[in-house]
Chain A
Amino acid sequence: MAQMTMIQAITDAMRVELKNDPNVLVFGEDVGVNGGVFRATEGLQNEFGEDRVFDTPLAESGIGGLAVGLALQGFRPVPEIQFFGFVYEVMDSISGQAARLRFRTGGKFSAPITFRSPFGGGVHTPDMHADSLEGLMAQQPGIKVVIPSTPYDAKGLLISAIRDNDPVIFLEHMKLYRSFRQEVPEGEYTIPLGKADVKREGTDLSIITYGAMVHESLKAAEELEKEGFSAEVIDLRTVSPIDIETIIASVEKTGRAIVVQEAQKQAGVAANVVAEISDRAILSLEAPVLRVAAPDTIYPFPQAEAAWLPNYKDVIETAKKVLTF
């Protein structure tokens, strides 16, 4: 086993699948010689050639359309959207086309495309690069939305995403790319899509979260432990579809829950989780289910990011409200 950052684990997952399946193609803006602006595709063109790993013209809709067309020819495309803030340019290819290909052909064709993209905030990108738009994507039937929080999960989830026969939006939090290393097995292993992971067990409170907020929540749980509260941290890993079973089992055990997301509060993934808990486990609850989320503004300018993004202190504050209700 090797120690890897999340971005190395992501590169390794693509390497495994490029080796494993000749139909896998990796492409996007600057993914070839340059290895991607974050270096997620570092070395892949060298290893697999320009036929398998290639640059595209600078046009996100074109990239999405290329992916759908290649899927119609039986390929398994893994396009990169350079920053998820640019996703609006490719929304038709994702939501209008790829998500609906199976449906519109009565189940005859599929679009096994994995759209990879860096997202989330906290790394001082220029205007309109960072954003947490997973809620927007999660509303679209026909696609899955996957968000890893660790190097180990990232590799196993990305391999599963590439092998999945339906389109997957694979969102890679920019702040997590190089924030820590973890043991990551060589070669192939998969982590099922749609399955949450209990990152920390606890008995008093369920903290349901994903992406970079998993780490803020774990930090909060440690602090809460010092004050005598045992918090369970559930990493959704896939935000569409959501693993309701794991959430409900946890809530039935703890009787209290909060949902933590980096995205703005309005609509979104956390709101959906709260609704599901309300639908299914209301009689197990000792307190209202509260949310920790960013304020409902447009994603902030870099100088206000730190104040805007939710952090472990916000998690502790909300957790205490629920724990002492």
Chain B
Amino acid sequence: MASKTQNAQLDAKKVLEAVENQFTTLQILNEEGEVVNEAAMPDLSDEQLQELMRRMVYTRILDQRSISLNRQGRLGFYAPTAGQEASQLASQFALEKEDFILPGYRDVPPIVWHGLPLYQAFLWSRGHLAGGQIPDGVNVAIPQIIIGAQYVQTAGVALGLKKRGVKAVALTYTGDGGTSQGDFYEGMNFAGAYNAPAIFIAQNNRFAISTPVEKQTAAKTLAQKAVAAGIAGIQVDGMDPLAVYAAVREARDRAINGEGPTFIETLTYRYGPHTMAGDDPTRYRTAELDNEWEKKDPLVRFRKFLEKKGLWNEERENEVIEQAKEEIKEALKQADAAPKQKVTDLINITYTDLPQNLKEQHEIYSAKESK
């Protein structure tokens, strides 16, 4: 055996190692907010940098408010986002309005910044049908619940964009756990086979509910999974908004130029629980690990970076916080004004035209509802 493994072509282990070692983490801003990779710096104006920071601060407040609203019973299903702002928001920031986003259930902030009114996001969380009534011209899908399904659908949206001749991309998110699904691979493989303009993101926040990524896969990186689908893959520091932006922007340019899909692994962390439905992260994460990742915080490093450039200060930050609080209050009011949901509403949205059984059930429920 030993002699045979001398043969490089037979040494499959070595091939794997060589591939895995190709995947290094792209970082542009380090934890201190210093630019460590000038060559990869994306082309962003001062106003754009400020806008990205504004969105991250705003979304951190939105997360804090959403958690407390959930605890008060004023919001329903909620998957906390703090820690993942760079990964979620810088990726959306690299898109254009005509690009289409297929989010997972944690990726509500990117679709809000892509145009979904906040009150609808609240209604979706509460479980009201108006939450899913995406306005015309807002290119997003309703958040996916079945992990992986958004990946195969992204291949379809991207192929559709290609067939229409639209210069736009389809972008989707999943987490580290999602990369174990068959649909994850099928989606990337289909998009690759059709050379469709798709961007697949896996936000590796290290835990799929409680299961650590090390137990999810033998792969050293998630990014390398792109190789099997024959598409471009890259791993980025998901706590670094500039690295995330640069990777997505590059992927978008490639896709639009007909160079096919890209898979991006963002290394990130969710500070909060999986969802607000009783998950307790202390069962599976240590305080040391939490602290280690909080030091990498995307807002902290981006704030330092912008302050050094004279583009950010406390006053500006407080303005954003106040604005966020005000708009959240306003969106809640709008959500509260949504009409009470009736069974007849549900019947009406099951098919385009009511079949006989639902027509009869509609009559029964209208009578009940008019009492």
Contacts A/B (CB < 8 Å), 26 sampled: A57-B190, A57-B193, A65-B149, A65-B153, A66-B153, A66-B190, A68-B153, A70-B156, A70-B160, A71-B156, A72-B141, A72-B156, A73-B100, A75-B160, A92-B149, A92-B183, A93-B149, A97-B146, A97-B149, A103-B129, A107-B129, A109-B134, A141-B350, A142-B351, A241-B358, A244-B357
Are B132 and A142 within 8 A (Cβ)?
A: no
A102 touches B349 (CB 8 A): yes
18 further interface pairs, Cβ-Cβ under 8 Å (given A59-B190, A73-B157, A144-B351): A57-B189, A59-B182, A59-B189, A61-B182, A62-B155, A62-B190, A65-B149, A69-B152, A69-B158, A70-B156, A71-B156, A72-B153, A96-B146, A102-B351, A104-B132, A165-B352, A166-B352, A241-B355
Partner of A96, one of B149, B187, B189, B193: B149
Provide the residues of chain B in CB contact with A51, threshold 8 Å: 163
Considering the complex, give the chain A residue whose CB is closest to the CB of B183: A61
A317 to B188, CA, bound (A): 54
Do B161 and A73 have beta carbons less than 8 Å apart? Answer: yes
Say whether B160 contacts A74, CB under 8 Å: yes
- For residue A56, CB closer than 8 A to chain B, the reply is yes
Q: Which residues in chain B, 149-171, are within 8 Å of chain A measured between CB atoms?
A: 149, 151-161, 163-164, 170
Residue count of chain A within 8 Å CB distance of chain B: 44
B276 at the interface (CB under 8 A from A): no
Binding site for B on A (CB under 8 A): 25, 51, 56-57, 59, 61-62, 64-75, 92-93, 96-97, 102-110, 141-142, 144, 164-166, 194, 241-245
- A residues less than 8 Å from B152 (CB atoms): 61-62, 64-66, 68-69, 93
Interface residue B131 (Cβ < 8 Å from any Cβ of A): yes
Pair A97/B153 contact, Cβ less than 8 Å: yes
B226 at the interface (CB under 8 A from A): no
How far apart are the CA atoms of A69 and B155 in the complex, in Å?
7
Ranked nearest first, the 7 interchain pairs of A and B with the lowest CB-CB distance are A69-B156, A65-B152, A73-B160, A241-B355, A62-B186, A106-B129, A106-B133
Counting chain A CB atoms within 10 Å of each CB, the highest count among B153, B349, B350 belongs to B153
The answer on a CB contact under 8 Å between B159 and A70 is: yes
The number of chain B residues with a CB under 8 A from chain A is 43
| Residue in A72, A165, A241 whose beta carbon sits within 8 Å of that of B100 in the complex | A72
Distance between B4 CB and nearest chain A CB, rounded to angstroms: 33
Question: Is B343 engaged at the interface, CB distance under 8 Å to the other chain?
Answer: no
B186 to chain A, nearest CB (A): 4
Looking across the interface, which residue of chain B has its beta carbon closest to that of A243? B356
Pair A69/B154 contact, Cβ less than 8 Å: yes
| A104-B142 contact, Cβ under 8 Å, with A65-B155, A69-B156, A70-B159 | yes
Residues from chain A with a CB closer than 8 A to the CB of B146 are 92, 96-97
- B residues in contact with A92, CB < 8 Å: 146, 149, 183
Interface centre among B141, B157, B186, B187 (most CB of A within 10 A): B186
- What CA separation (Å) do A93 and B153 show in the bound complex? 9
- Smallest distance from the beta carbon of B90 to chain A beta carbons, Å? 24
Q: Are A56 and B190 in contact (CB under 8 A)?
A: yes
- In the bound complex, do residue A142 and residue B190 qualify as a contact, i.e. CB atoms below 8 Å apart? no
User: Which residues of chain B are near A245, meaning CB under 8 Å?
Assistant: 356
Residues of B within 8 A of A109 (CB): 134
Write the nearest CB–CB distance from B173 to chain A, whole angstroms: 15
* Min distance, Cβ B45 to any Cβ of chain A, angstroms: 32
